């Protein structure tokens, strides 16, 4: 009887190769403006945190649609661009400094063997070659250890319905680790675009009025496993 019970339990547990049940991957966004003042030329910091996924590693994000408050825009006093190809081959040093819009960092995780390998990468945001006159953005991710490699996220400006205004659609390519192991996933990303009080450097222009409830931000994400998630938040109106 005991052997039969054990057998039944084993058969119930293991009819197929076991795979941990995966929580869906979700994301949160935390925006902040500095200075936090209406009409100001400011720096916008956006932090995205991904969670869930199989065995604690979020699914890799492939597409992000970020929506910003109506009236918020980016001011670029002098237009210089840097191509995606140049960023991939030469890194940040291959681009004119005037094309740089901001920077930040990200934490990547990838499963290999029994381990989760982590890597911190440096982010640099650049103005890309425009699609006709439509602004394009590129974010270079430069990792050094354990893998010395680059990845470039590309973005284009989009228009959103109220209460949002302009947005950015970002495409994240697959971040390979080693053959036959899963691609790496971004777990957290923090990027600051613009410079405080800047009139001669790129800056985020804060709207001159703030809607009741605060400045709305939203984002939708599409992951490599085909799943989606959406999130939204507000930044309280400047006092």
* Chain residues that interact with another protein, rule: CB under 8 A: 3, 6-7, 10-11, 13-20, 73-79, 81, 112-115, 129-130, 132-135, 144-149, 157, 159, 166, 178-181
Q: How far is the CB of 32 from another protein (least distance, A)?
A: 22
- Whichever of 73 and 233 has its CB closer to another protein, that residue is 73
Task: Give me the sign of the Cα torsion angle 176, 180, 181, 185.
Answer: positive
R_g over Cα of the chain: 21
- Whichever of 158 and 233 has its CB closer to another protein, that residue is 158
Q: How far is the CB of 159 from another protein (least distance, A)?
A: 4
Q: How far is the CB of 144 from another protein (least distance, A)?
A: 6
Nearest Cα to Cα of residue 57 among 32, 102, 25: 25
- Whichever of 167 and 229 has its CB closer to another protein, that residue is 167
- Whichever of 90 and 181 has its CB closer to another protein, that residue is 181
DSSP-assigned letters across all residues of 53-98: EBTTBPPPEEEEEEEEETT-EEE-SS-----HHHHHHH-GGGS-GG
Q: How far is the CB of 11 from another protein (least distance, A)?
A: 6
Return d(Cα 114, Cα 60) in angstroms, integer.
19
Q: How far is the CB of 158 from another protein (least distance, A)?
A: 9
Structural contact between residues 74 and 101, judged by C-beta atoms closer than 8 angstroms:
yes
Return d(Cα 198, Cα 78) in angstroms, integer.
12
- Whichever of 179 and 239 has its CB closer to another protein, that residue is 179
């Amino acid at each position: 009887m005991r052997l039969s019970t054990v057998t039944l339990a084993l058969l119930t547990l293991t009819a197929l190769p076991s795979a941990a049940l995966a929580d869906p991957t979700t994301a949160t966004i935390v925006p902040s403006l500095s200075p936090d003042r209406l009409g100001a030329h400011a720096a916008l910091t956006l932090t995205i945190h991904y969670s869930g996924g199989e065995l604690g590693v979020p699914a890799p994000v492939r597409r992000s649609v970020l929506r910003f408050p109506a009236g918020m825009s980016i001011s670029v006093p002098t237009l210089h661009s840097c191509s995606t190809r140049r960023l991939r081959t030469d890194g940040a040093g291959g681009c004119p400094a005037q094309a740089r819009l901001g920077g930040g960092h990200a934490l990547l995780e990838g499963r290999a063997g029994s381990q989760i390998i982590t890597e911190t990468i440096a982010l640099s945001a650049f103005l890309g070659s425009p699609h006709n006159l439509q602004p394009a953005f590129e974010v270079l991710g430069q990792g050094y250890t354990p893998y010395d490699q680059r990845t470039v996220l590309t973005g284009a400006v989009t228009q959103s319905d109220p209460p949002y205004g302009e947005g950015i659609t970002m495409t994240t390519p697959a971040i390979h680790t080693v053959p036959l192991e899963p691609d790496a996933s971004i777990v957290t990303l923090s990027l600051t675009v613009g410079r405080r009080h800047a009139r001669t450097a790129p800056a985020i222009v804060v709207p001159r009025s703030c809607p009741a409830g605060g400045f709305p931000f939203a984002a939708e994400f599409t992951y490599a496993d085909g799943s989606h998630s959406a999130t939204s938040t507000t930044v309280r109106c400047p006092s």
